[in-house]
Amino acid sequence: MNGAVESPAAVKAETHGDAAASKAKILLVDDEPKSLFALQELLSTLGENLMIAQSGEEALRLALKNDFAVILLDVRMPGMDGFETAKMIRGRERSRATPIIFLTAAADEMTSMFRGYEVGAVDYLMKPVVPEILKSKVAVFVELHRKSERLRESEEKLRRLAAHLISVREEERAHIAREIHDELGQVLTGLKMEVTWLAKRLHEQPLLEKTDSMCKLIDSTVQTVRKIATGLRPEMLDDMGLVAAIGWQAKEFQKRTGIRCRAKLPSEGTKLDIDVSTTAFRIFQEILTNVARHSRATRVDIELEVGGDQVRLDVADNGVGIAETELNGKKSLGLLGMHERALLFGGEVSISGAPGHGTRVSVVIPTRNRT
C-alpha cells in the first residue's frame, strides 16, 4: 500500500465532524489484510476511530501525525518488523508514551516476548487472540487515554487562567503605581509649596523650625511614595526595558542587603515584548528575594543574554546551597511561581546546587512562538 488506510468506522467518524474528535484513535498494524480485517471487525463495537497500516513504515508515518490511545502491532512483518517499528515509535517525542500491544503467532513466544517488552511493549498477546481479552485491554487503554486528555485540557485551562490572573495583576499594579506616583505625588508637591510659602512669611524661630520639620517630613513621604510605586511597577522596566531594569534592581538589592552583585548585561538592542520583559523581571525579583531570605550569600553573579529568539538569565550565589527536598517541597511556592511564570511562555527554570556550594538558577524564555 502507498499510504495509510482508515477503516470504514474511521471514515464514518470523519463525516461526523466534532463527533469524530471525541473518539479515541487506535492504530492496527499488520501486513496480512485478513488479520487487519478481523481486528477491525472485532474492535468496531468499541465505537472508536480505527486506523490501519500494513507496514512498519506506514505505522511510523501515522504515529507522527496522530495521538493514539493504543497501538496493536504485529511482530512478524516483512522489512521493518514489529520490534524495530516499536523502537522507532518509542524514540519519537509525540508517541513516546503511546501504549503498544504486540500480536504474534510465532512459536518462540518466550524469547519474542522478552524482546517485545525490551522495546517498550505494555502487553503481548498470542494469535489467535481471545476477543473478550483483546477488547477489554484496548478499552482500558482507551479510557486511560481519555482521562489523560481531560487532565491535559484541565491543566491547559488552569494555565490560561493563571496567565490571565498574572496579566490582570500586573495591569492593576501598573495602574495603582501611576495613581500613587501622579496623584499622591502631586498632592505632596503642592503641600510642600504651601509650607514653603508659609515659611517665607514667618519670623518666629519656633514656627520656622516647625515648617522646616514639615518640609523634611514631606520629602520623606515623597521618597516613600516613590519607593512604593516603584515596588509595584518599576517605571524603568516600561521606559528603558529589561536590561536597564535588571541592572537597576541588582544595584538596589546590593544597597539594601549588602550582598555584592556582579552583573554581566548586554548592550541595549533587541526590543522585547513587554510581557516577556515583565516575566523575566519578576522571576529575577523572586530569585533575589530567595537569596536574601535563605542563601546567607555574600556575592551574587548575574548574567543576562537577550537574543533574537530567547532571553536567558543566570543567577548564581555563593551561599549555603539548596537541598533536593527544598527544590520539590510543597512549601516552595516562590519556586513554583517562577516555574509557572516561565512555563506560560514556553520557557523553563532550572535550579541546581548543593549544600555548602551555592545555588544557580537558570531561566530561559522564548521570545517567539509563545504558548
Q: Is the Cα torsion angle 253, 287, 177, 184 positive or negative in sign?
A: negative
Domain count, the chain: 3
Q: Is the pLDDT of residue 332 over 70?
A: no
- Alpha carbons 249 and 285: distance in angstroms, whole number: 8
The verdict on 271 and 343 lying in the same domain is: yes
Residue 138 in any domain: the answer is no
The C-alpha cell of 160 is what?
490560561
Q: Which residues share a beta bridge with 73?
A: 29, 102
Assess contact for 329 and 290: CB atoms under 8 A: no
Residue 124 in any domain: the answer is yes
Provide CB contacts within 8 A for 145, sequence distance 6+. Answer: 24, 68, 69, 70
Q: Is the pLDDT of residue 302 over 70?
A: yes
The three-point CA angle 293-343-292 to 5° equals 10
What pLDDT was estimated at residue 359? 92
Backbone angles phi, psi at 100, to 5 degrees: -125, 125
Residue 188 in any domain: the answer is yes
Q: Which residues share a beta bridge with 317?
A: 300, 359
What pLDDT was estimated at residue 2? 42
Q: Is the pLDDT of residue 338 over 80?
A: yes
Within 10 angstroms of residue 349's Cβ, the number of other Cβ atoms is 22
The verdict on 19 and 112 lying in the same domain is: yes
Provide CB contacts within 8 A for 155, sequence distance 6+. Answer: none
Residue 112 in any domain: the answer is yes
CATH (domain of 97): 3.40.50.2300
Starting at the edge strand found earlier in the chain, the sheet holding 299-306 runs: 260-264, 299-306, 310-317, 359-366, 348-353
What pLDDT was estimated at residue 317? 94
Q: What percent of the chain has pLDDT over 70?
A: 85
Identity of the residue numbered 366 = P
What pLDDT was estimated at residue 337? 80
Q: Is the pLDDT of residue 14 over 60?
A: no
Query: Range of 309's domain?
Result: 236-366
**Residues 133-160: tens digit of each pLDDT:** 889 989 998 999 889 888 888 877 887 7
The verdict on 277 and 194 lying in the same domain is: no
The verdict on 117 and 168 lying in the same domain is: no
Helices (H) and strands (E) in the chain, counts: 14, 11
Residue 65 in any domain: the answer is yes
What's the chain's length in residues?
A: 371
Q: Is the pLDDT of residue 368 over 80?
A: no
Give Cα separations from 123 to 60, 80, 100, 306, 312 (angstroms).
19, 20, 7, 48, 44
What pLDDT was estimated at residue 115? 66
Peptide bond into 128 cis (omega under 30): yes
Quote the mean pLDDT of the chain: 82
- Beta strands 299-306; 310-317: pairing state: antiparallel
Assess contact for 309 and 269: CB atoms under 8 A: no
The verdict on 186 and 248 lying in the same domain is: no
Q: Is 270 exposed, middle or buried (0-12, 13-18, 19+ CB in 10 A)?
A: middle
239-256: burial string, b at 16+ Cβ within 10 Å, e else: eebbbebbbbbbebbbee
CATH (domain of 310): 3.30.565.10
The verdict on 213 and 96 lying in the same domain is: no
The average pLDDT across 222-232 equals 81
**Residues 171-199: tens digit of each pLDDT:** 787 778 778 877 888 888 899 899 999 98
Residue 144 in any domain: the answer is no
Q: Is the pLDDT of residue 202 over 60?
A: yes
- Alpha carbons 212 and 220: distance in angstroms, whole number: 12
Q: Which residues share a beta bridge with 6?
A: 51
**What is the value of pTM for the model shown?**
0.59
The average pLDDT across 310-314 equals 93
The verdict on 115 and 177 lying in the same domain is: no
The verdict on 11 and 115 lying in the same domain is: yes
The verdict on 215 and 284 lying in the same domain is: no
Spacing of C-alpha 178 from chain mean position? 31
The verdict on 22 and 76 lying in the same domain is: yes
Q: 263 pLDDT band (50/70/90 cuts)?
A: very high
The verdict on 326 and 293 lying in the same domain is: yes
Sole residue written with cell 481471545: 130
